[in-house]
């Protein structure tokens, strides 16, 4: 059996997690074992088939099994409910597995093995902080401070996950960051741009950075779509208009990297029926998280309300449901002006 330092677990093989875990397996040395866990058994089977020959890959059934044997556990979970179950369930959770590992080590006369656990999804800040608090209390009382939790949400969407070019925003306790952050970076560099892994502050700071980034991205998605729709309705060439915008003050990530007008750019969601990107429902969800964060800290906002209203109207039409968020351009283009 491999030692915990040579075992990494990845839980959550969804649209983002699956390519992230594949890039992680490809980047790890062949003597490292990757444990995978997901509710989708077909995804697990496909993953093993597609990574054959890269190094050991084994299936575990829950966070408890993962944390009991792995030195590092990475999760990419869809929401707060999943995070609470995967981390905090007393029978199947990651924290319970860490305790079981420490108990086994103590019975063998060994100190607890240092373990790192990190969540990479975009989760409500209060959930991240509650997991961090539970981890810290458990680590202090039962694990000789051997367990560290970090939040490391990502930006870059499914395309970035597939290409291994994600940006990571890491929150880690200042008392542990000097030791832990280099370890975190050693894993995340296989899934993202090495220059795009940022230590943002204490636990929860990574999530706040991510929410603020997505807040801006959601609003610019609507703003860019409105501007380009004006141009198209005026009979202008959308590709030339995009080139001018990108060479001028209106340039933004949406116009330059994920243009909402079909066929202006290749290999972007708008040019393939708005499939395969950051779903409008998720975009609206994270924008709402940004609004709640603003209220929590007393920051005045103006643009979130109208943007949420626009997304809500688009999502109410089944033609746009489940599509990349830039489908708001299509919604605008096909709508009549009041």
Which of the 8 DSSP states describes residue 326? G
CB 186 within 8 A of CB 215: no
Of 18, 21, 6, 33, the closest CA to residue 188 belongs to 21
Q: What whole-number distance in Å separates Cα of residue 207 and Cα of residue 185? A: 17
Q: What whole-number distance in Å separates Cα of residue 9 and Cα of residue 204? A: 22
Residues in contact with 39: Cβ distance below 8 Å, sequence separation at least 6, in sequence order: none
Q: Which of 115, 210, 323, 330 is catalytic?
A: 210
User: Is residue 22 annotated as a catalytic residue, yes or no?
Assistant: no
CB 6 within 8 A of CB 32: yes
CA 181, 39, 312, 227 dihedral sign is positive
Of 33, 49, 29, the closest CA to residue 41 belongs to 49
Catalytic positions: 210
């Amino acid at each position: 059996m491999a030692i915990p330092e040579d075992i990494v677990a990845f839980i959550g093989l969804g649209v983002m997690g699956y390519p992230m875990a594949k890039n992680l397996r490809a980047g790890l040395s062949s003597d490292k074992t990757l444990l995978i866990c997901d509710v989708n058994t077909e995804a697990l089977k496909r993953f093993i088939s597609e990574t054959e020959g890269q190094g050991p890959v084994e299936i575990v059934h829950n966070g408890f099994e993962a944390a009991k044997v792995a030195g590092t556990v990475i999760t990419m979970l869809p929401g707060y409910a999943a995070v609470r179950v995967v981390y905090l369930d007393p029978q199947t959770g990651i924290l319970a597995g860490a305790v079981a590992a420490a108990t086994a080590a103590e019975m063998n006369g060994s100190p607890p093995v240092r373990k790192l656990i990190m969540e990479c999804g975009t989760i409500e800040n209060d959930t991240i902080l509650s997991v961090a608090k539970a981890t810290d209390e458990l680590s202090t009382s039962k694990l000789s401070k051997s367990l560290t939790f970090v939040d490391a949400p990502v930006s870059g969407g499914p395309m970035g996950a597939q290409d291994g070019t994600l940006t990571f925003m890491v929150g880690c306790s200042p008392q542990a960051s000097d030791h832990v952050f280099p370890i975190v970076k050693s894993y995340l560099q296989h899934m993202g741009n090495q220059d795009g892994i940022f230590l943002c502050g204490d636990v929860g700071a990574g999530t706040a950075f991510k929410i603020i980034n997505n807040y801006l991205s959601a609003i610019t998605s609507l703003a860019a779509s409105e501007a380009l729709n004006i141009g198209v309705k005026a009979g202008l060439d959308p590709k030339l208009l995009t080139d001018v915008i990108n060479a001028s003050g209106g340039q933004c990530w949406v116009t330059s990297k994920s243009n909402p007008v079909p066929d202006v750019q290749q290999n972007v969601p708008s040019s393939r029926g708005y499939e395969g990107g950051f779903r409008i429902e998720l975009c609206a969800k994270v924008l709402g998280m940004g609004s709640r964060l603003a209220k929590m800290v007393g920051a005045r906002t103006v643009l979130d309300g109208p943007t949420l209203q626009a997304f809500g109207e688009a999502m109410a039409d089944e033609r746009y449901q489940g599509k990349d968020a830039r489908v708001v351009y299509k919604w605008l283009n096909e709508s009549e002006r009041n």
